Amino acid sequence: MERRKGERYVLPEIYSKYITFKIRKASGEFVDAELFNFGPGGISIKSRQELLVHSTIECLISAPKSLSKEIPFTGKIKYCIQEESGEDFLIGAEIIETTDKIWFDLFLKVHDFIKGRIGEIY
């Protein structure tokens, strides 16, 4: 049963080079993660690091070729699954706070443009 409140769109691999996504580690440094899908209410990512369910994460997202600014937001981990030992973790998080709502909304518009172009490529 789908429990998401809003629609999410898979980010095709061909577009992954246009979107960067980072998570702040406990040490304070940001590390790259792979964005799987994105929507106004949540994200799915792949990461080499396990994240605790119900923990809060700080994230930065950007589209360097379109927007020069990294957009911060906070998420709450809903699930963290590792299918096989030694593989990356598939992580889902609810977006709970955006400190820069104007830029976050602008990123959503860029994402909507990318999403709209998917049919023209595939």
Question: Cα-flanking dihedrals φ and ψ of residue 35, to 5°?
Answer: -80, 125
**What kind of fold does domain 9-114 have according to CATH?**
Thrombin, subunit H (2.40.10)
pLDDT of 61 > 50? The answer is: yes
CB 83 within 8 A of CB 50: no
Instruction: State the burial class of residue 23 (Cβ atoms within 10 Å of its Cβ: 0-12, 13-18, 19+).
Output: buried
Q: Return the domain boundaries, the chain.
A: 9-114
With bands split at pLDDT 50, 70 and 90, how would you rate the model's confidence at 114? low
Mean pLDDT within 47-61: 91
Global pTM reads 0.73
